[in-house]
């Protein structure tokens, strides 16, 4: 089970991620939340690394399948003094009402979801978003640079073991079947970390 992996690594997750957070993630996370307002879902909230970037005045709800990660997110919430709801939920079946969020963000969540979970998760996000809402996904992709790509391939077995994640999910290809339209796709860190922006185009397929 995916959440079992994160229950196992939760105590060390922030330490494991520290070099990447300092060198990459803290520069790209603000793009997830720029211009958002209203009710926002942080899907796969993890230990709450996105919390410092939550928009002022927005009502943000964070969900995660791992209780251990949520416990660490709750400690970060208390330390930062942020009023955020944290709920244990699977992103493929959240239980939220239809069309209840103004926006959804997910940082590296879809790197963790395997091929069988990609479409169900996207359909769920489409279901709980209001018409025209912004869905923003921060994801990895294999670099086209031969050297960088080789290094990523060498790292891939460790990433899969430690995080249950992969660099080649290609989440965009599932968007149309989920009832989502691709609005924007651009790289934020070299050609390995990309921002995917989508919006609902009607009832999920």
**pTM for this model (two decimals):** 0.93
pLDDT in tens, 35-74: 999 999 999 999 999 999 999 999 999 999 999 999 999 9
Asked if 126 contacts 200 with a C-beta cutoff of 8 angstroms, the reply is yes
End-to-end CA separation in angstroms for the chain: 27
The predicted structure's pLDDT at residue 203: 52
| Mean predicted lDDT score pLDDT of the chain | 93
The predicted structure's pLDDT at residue 36: 97
CATH number where 161 lies: 3.40.50.150
Asked if residue 205 is part of any domain, the answer here is no
Domain span at residue 97?
2-200
Share of the chain above pLDDT 70, in %: 97
Asked if residue 44 is part of any domain, the answer here is yes
pLDDT in tens, 78-129: 999 999 999 999 999 999 999 999 999 999 999 999 999 999 999 999 999 9
Q: How many Cα atoms occupy the beta-carbon half-sphere of 37 within 13 Å?
A: 2
Please give the angle made by the CA atoms of 19, 21 and 24, to the nearest 5 degrees: 95
pLDDT in tens, 120-173: 999 999 999 999 999 999 999 999 999 999 999 999 999 998 888 999 999 999
Dihedral sign of CA atoms 159, 164, 165, 170 in order: positive
Asked if residue 76 is part of any domain, the answer here is yes
Distance, in Å, from the CA atom of 129 to the CA atom of 132, rounded to the nearest integer, reads 8
Asked if residue 36 is part of any domain, the answer here is yes
Could you give the number of structural domains in the chain? 1
């Amino acid at each position: 089970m995916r959440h079992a992996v994160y229950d196992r690594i939760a105590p060390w997750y922030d330490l494991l991620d520290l070099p990447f957070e300092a060198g990459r993630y803290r520069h790209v996370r603000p793009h997830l939340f720029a211009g958002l307002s209203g009710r926002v879902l942080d899907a796969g909230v993890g230990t709450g690394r996105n919390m410092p970037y939550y928009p002022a005045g927005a009502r943000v709800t964070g969900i995660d399948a791992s209780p251990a990660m949520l416990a660490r997110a709750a400690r970060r919430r208390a330390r930062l003094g942020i009023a955020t709801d944290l709920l244990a939920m699977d992103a493929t079946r959240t239980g939220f009402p239809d069309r209840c969020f103004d926006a959804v963000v997910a940082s590296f969540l879809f790197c963790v979801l395997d091929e069988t979970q990609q479409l169900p998760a996207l359909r769920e996000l489409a279901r709980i978003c209001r018409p025209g809402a912004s869905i923003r996904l921060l994801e990895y992709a294999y670099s086209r640079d031969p050297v960088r790509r080789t290094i990523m391939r060498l790292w891939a077995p460790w990433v899969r073991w430690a995080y249950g994640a992969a660099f080649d999910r290609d989440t965009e290809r599932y968007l149309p079947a989920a009832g989502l339209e691709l609005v924007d796709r651009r790289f934020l860190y070299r050609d390995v970390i990309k921002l995917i922006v989508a919006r609902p185009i009607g009832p999920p397929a």
